[in-house]
Amino acid sequence: MKIVKLNPTSNGTRHQIKLQNFLLSKTNKLIKVSSKGFKRHNGRSSTTGRITVRHKGSGCKKTYREIAFSNDNFFSLVITICYDPLRSSFVALCFDLDRKFFFSTLSTNFVYPGTILICNENQTELKLGFRTRLKNIPAGSIINSLSLGLKHKTKYARSAGTSCQIIQKTKKFCCIRLPSGSLFNVSVDAFATIGILSNFQHNKIVIGKAGKNRIAGIRPSVRGIAMNPVDHPHGGRTNGGQPSVTPWGIPTKGKSTVRKKI
């Protein structure tokens, strides 16, 4: 994949930088994509219809693709690399050669159609895209799709271009550096995938025009100081030196988001 800057043939393309996805699959009709119990709310309550999440609404319909975030063993072949409108990273459509069924996983960078992927808790041969326990992965390795235990689903490093690194290993715990830079200990029985997640140039994309955000279901964000006093604490240009707050008076800067353990 490579990013290209479009020629300024219009105001919408003047600053636009997009990803050339000609290497992705043009069709995803190998399996029927469906998910039971998945409803589109578009930022509104399913019962009252009131806005529950601001700046969301409209946009094109998107098909939800179920991703295998579990640690079940598989010996599979990558069929295609697909685009997922609900995720920043690409999705690999795989076929399990043992159990004879299709499933989708998050695609690792430099994993192409025709690659063999293995998930096994006792896997000793390590290649890009292989998934196994942390006790089998040497210190210093780059990993993604990290879980917190043997029976836990994937929790960390799931967005495009992100990865973790194994800093130190003991008999029971591994010290992991998260994409945020923080360090924490996790059990050596936790699962992880070797490599960096795909679409690592996702942060270099420039949308170029507001219409692409509207197609994605993102509505405009209005500054509080541009509102009236009845609509926002900053409204009427009377926020005179007070800390920035949300429309409901909750501070937006300098408030700790991590609960400290005593």
Q: Kindly state whether residues 51 and 179 are assigned to the same domain.
A: no
What per-residue confidence (pLDDT) applies to 34? 59
pLDDT tens for the chain, 262 residues: list them.
Answer: 788 999 999 999 999 999 888 878 876 666 665 566 677 778 888 889 899 999 998 888 888 888 999 899 999 999 999 988 889 999 999 999 999 989 999 999 999 999 999 999 888 889 999 999 999 999 999 999 999 988 889 999 999 999 999 999 999 999 999 999 999 999 999 999 999 999 999 999 999 999 999 999 999 999 888 999 899 888 887 656 678 888 998 888 876 777 777 6
Q: Kindly state whether residues 4 and 121 are assigned to the same domain.
A: no
Q: Kindly state whether residues 4 and 115 are assigned to the same domain.
A: no
Q: Kindly state whether residues 16 and 98 are assigned to the same domain.
A: no
Q: Kindly state whether residues 118 and 180 are assigned to the same domain.
A: yes
Q: Kindly state whether residues 83 and 137 are assigned to the same domain.
A: yes
Q: Are strands 173-177 and 183-187 parallel, antiparallel or unpaired?
A: antiparallel
Assess if residue 133 is contained within a domain.
yes
Q: Kindly state whether residues 186 and 212 are assigned to the same domain.
A: no
Tokens of 136: 């089998």
Q: Kindly state whether residues 217 and 181 are assigned to the same domain.
A: no
What per-residue confidence (pLDDT) applies to 242? 75
Q: How far apart are CA 6 and CA 178, in angstroms?
A: 34
What per-residue confidence (pLDDT) applies to 141? 94
Assess if residue 80 is contained within a domain.
yes
Q: Is the entire prediction scored with pTM above 0.75? A: yes
Assess if residue 111 is contained within a domain.
yes
Write out the chain in H/E/C secondary structure: CEEEECCCCCCCCCCCEEEECCCCCCCCCCCCCCCCCCCCCCCECCCCCCECCCCECCCCCCCCCCCCCCCCCEEEEEEEEECCCCCCCCEEEEEECCCCEEEEEECECCCCCCCEEEECCCCCCCCCCCEEEHHHCCCCCEEECEECCCCCCEEECCCCCCCEEEEEECCCEEEEECCCCCEEEEECCCEEEECCECCCCHHHCECCCHHHHHHCCECCCCCHHHCCCCCCCCHHHCCCCCCCECCCCCECCCCCCCCCCC
What per-residue confidence (pLDDT) applies to 57? 87
Q: Kindly state whether residues 105 and 156 are assigned to the same domain.
A: yes
Nearest to 224 by CA among 252, 192, 204: 252
What per-residue confidence (pLDDT) applies to 251? 86
Q: How many domains does the chain have?
A: 2
Assess if residue 130 is contained within a domain.
yes
Q: Kindly state whether residues 190 and 80 are assigned to the same domain.
A: yes
Assess if residue 33 is contained within a domain.
no
Q: Which residue segment(s) compose the domain that 152 sits in? A: 64-200
Assess if residue 21 is contained within a domain.
yes
Q: Kindly state whether residues 167 and 210 are assigned to the same domain.
A: no
Residue 144 sits in a domain whose CATH number is 2.30.30.30
What per-residue confidence (pLDDT) applies to 76? 94
Please answer whether residues 117 and 73 qualify as being in contact, where contact means their C-beta atoms are separated by less than 8 angstroms: no
Q: Kindly state whether residues 109 and 189 are assigned to the same domain.
A: yes
Tokens of 134: 């942390």
Residue 90: CA atoms inside 13 Å, Cβ hemisphere, count?
29
